[in-house]
Structures are given as C-alpha cells and as structure tokens.
Structure 1
Amino acid sequence: GNYTDVGASKADLGGSSATLYDLILLAKTKIQKARFHPNLILLNPTDWMKMCVVKNSSGDYYTGGPVNSVVNTLWGLPVLDTEAIPEGKFMVLDTTQAATVWRRSGLVIEMFEQDSDNVQKNLVTIRAERRLGFSIERPEALVGGTLAIPTA
C-alpha cells in the first residue's frame, strides 16, 4: 500500500480506557520507531470537531476549549482538518520524507489576444500550466487508518 495501517489492538491503546487520542499517539510512535519524524496529523473536519468537544470528568475540554484554541495540535503535532481525509479515517505523517513531488516541467504562462472574441471585447486569455508527479517512497512514514477504538 501507499501508507502503513496503524494496526492497533485495544491492548496497544491501554485496554478499556483507550481513546482516539491514544490511537493517534500510537500512529505517531510507529513513525518514530521507523526512524522518521512525524510532523502533521490529517483529520476530517467532522472528526476533529468530535475530538475537540470531548471533556474530562470536571467538564474541561481536552483540547483547550473554544477560548484557548489558537493552534490545532495533538501530541505536539499540528492538526490539519481537511475534506481530503474521509470521515472516520486519519493519517499521521512525516511530510518531509514520505514522498516526493516530481517536476515534469516548469511553470508555463501564455497569453492570447486572439481567443474567441477577445479582440472585440479588449480581453486577454491567460493560461498557466505546470506538470507535476507525486510518488510515495516511504509508506512507513505515513501511518493511519480507521479512526475508531479496536474492539479486541
């Protein structure tokens, strides 16, 4: 695959008191054990909201609450809440070593005055184009999976 599944058991997460926060810490630890440096957590906005509203027995928010939420972080890593991650999934990653963006061609910008009726309307059509490729060379620097506490 193009990432490493967190593959957690309930025992890995501390047994019956396991939380989703523990699951994310396990993913972070797996990346560190593979000798990479995790630096980002990806969560769906709905899942991040559900984690933000969790409170302890005193009624205090685990994530700092609405007044203190300056930076979205868990376990010292920034959280990017994005629709690019499906609801119910998560990913912890080392963005510097997991993958490579390959540049197939530089940025090309072209301007056309003769497109359709541009001359009559005094318009210019601008086309900007860049060709890139993306490959994941180190799937062990990307750990994620289902955002749920395992049943066993």
Structure 2
Amino acid sequence: MLAGDGTGQNLLGLIPQATAFNNALRKAGDTKIDTLRRAILQVRIAEYRASAIALNPIDWADLELTKDSTGQYIWVNVQDGGQQRMWRLPVIDTNAVPEGEFLVGAFNIAAQVFDREDANVEVSTEDGDNFTKNMVTIRAEERLAMAVSADDRLRFPMTEDWQPNAEDLAAQTRLMGIPVEAITPEVVGCFKAHYLALPDTAHTSKRWANELAKWIKRERAFAAGSDEPEPWGAKGVKV
C-alpha cells in the first residue's frame, strides 16, 4: 500500500502518488529532524494536517541516535528508549520506505481501501503432481482496491517540476484571449522561477493556471508597450 507500482496485481501505493517535498522550504543547516518538520509545514500549507510519518528503519535509528555537542543523546534515554513519535506525530518505521526518503501526510484522509473479498486461503493436494510427491499447494488471495484522494482544492507551493493542467490553462487563456503560441517554455519557466522564490505562496491547480494566464497576459502587454491598466484588485488583498 505504500510502495506498490500499480502494475499487474500490485496496488498503486501512496509513495508513487505523493507530492514531492518542496526543497524551497529548506533552510541552511537543517537536520533530518528539521526537514521532517518542514514537510509537516508543507502539508499544512496545503490546508491539511499531517497525521503520521513513515521512515525507513535505518533513518529512524539515525534519528534516535542523534547527539548534541556534548555527546548526549537528545532523543531517548538509552535504558528505557523513547516514544516512537516526532513533532507530536506517530512514526512508522518500515522497509517499504526506501532509505534516505520519508513520507509525511494526512494518512487518516489520504486514501481509502475498498475490500471486495476478505482474505481467502485454500489448501490443495490435487495441483499437478502434488499427490505423488507428497506436496501441498497453498493459495492466498484477497480482492481489494485503494483510492487515493485527488482533491482539486488542494493548495500547494510552486515546484521545479510543476506543469500547468492542460485543460485548466486552455480554459483560462481562451477566456483571456491569449493565443496558444504565447504559452512558451521560456514564459512558463520565468513564471515558475518567480514563485519558487516565494515558497509561502500556495494555490490550487486551477488557481495556478489562472495565475500563469494572467502572467502571460501581462508579459504580452508589456512587450507590446500597452498602457492598459491592470484590472481592479490585481494588487489588492490576497484571498
């Protein structure tokens, strides 16, 4: 359910569908503990509240073994250990998460499992030549599906690999009278670079398409030397 690639009988897990960590949130000198807190912030900026952290056991051990400048453990008492929690959230250590990676999310609402058929285990001695070789075949199966929420209202900051939703952008540019040939990789790159420097700005997918269309319209007006004033409220209060 975490790392499945969706091929064959494998579920498409949470990791392949997760939003990449926004590296623009990092600060100089950040530790692994700091990075996890900033990942929680990224979830919160998107208008969700993280409910858990999933880590590889090796990474979790590294965190528990963190020491201060005097060599004292900052996380646990080695006699009694410590709670498997960080930043108020439970930590799940699992080999399903690759070493060096992590997963932070609102797991309580992120996905839902639909169980069509309970786990079924059958045993048979009549498979092939089982009887003559004193062998037993065991078949275990379960039929289920996992649906991951794709809420279009999700707000997220700009990322380097972001691409506008084609349908949303087409609708916005059509309404604003912007020709298709005006949407160039260079213009989109400048737009992304501008907002990568503003990591606290987060919008929905539709809003990002709207902002890009307005950006293109302003760039075209500037290039044409237009004196057309900006619409009322263009520099007003953010909502």
Give TM-score scaled by structure 2 length.
Answer: 0.48
Which residue pairs with 2:31 in the alignment? Answer: 19
The structure in which a higher percent of residues are helix is 2
Give unpaired runs (5+ residues) of structure 1.
141-152
Residue matched to 2:142 = 130
Describe the superposition over 1:31-69 as per-residue Cα deviations: whole angstroms up to 9, x where unpaired.
Answer: 122232312111111111122211112322221242342
Residues 107 and 130 in structure 1, CA contact (< 8 A), matched pair in contact too: yes
Question: What is the aligned partner in structure 2 of residue 66 from structure 1?
Answer: 78
Instruction: Specify whether residues 125 and 20 from structure 1 end up closer, same or farther in structure 2 by C-alpha distance, changes over 3 A only.
Output: closer
Deviation >3 Å, runs of 4+: 106-118, 124-129
Which one of the candidate residues 16, 23, 27 is aligned to 1:8? Answer: 23
**Could you tell me whether the CA contact under 8 Å between 1:8 and 1:23 is conserved in 2?**
no
| Residue type of the alignment partner of 1:46 | I
For residue 96 of structure 2, the aligned residue among 74, 84, 88 is 84
Distance 2:123 2:65 in 1: 50
Show CA shifts across 1:81-139 (max 9, x none): 11101111111122211112122323445566867777xx8xx9775532111232248
Structure 2 residue matching 1:91: 3-state secondary structure:
strand
Q: Shift of the alpha carbon at 1:26?
A: 0.9
Q: CA RMSD in A?
A: 2.8
Which letter does structure 2 place at the counterpart of 1:5? A
The amino acid that maps onto 1:27 is: A
Residue-pair matches, total: 136
Q: Which structure's CA Rg is the greater one? A: 2
Aligned CA distance change for structure 1 residues 48 and 107 (closer, same or farther; 3 Å): closer
User: Which of 83, 97, 106 is equivalent to 1:94?
Assistant: 106
Which of residues 18, 43, 65 in structure 2 aligns to 1:31? 43
> Which of structures 1 and 2 has the larger relative contact order (alpha carbons within 8 angstroms, sep 6+)?
1
Residue 177 of structure 2 is matched in structure 1 by none
Task: For structure 2, list consecutive stretches of 5 or more residues without a partner in the other structure.
Answer: 1-15, 155-239
- Residue identity matched to 2:110: A
Instruction: Say whether the 8 Å CA contact 1:52–1:65 is kept in structure 2.
Output: no
CA contact (8 A) 2:44 2:50 kept: yes
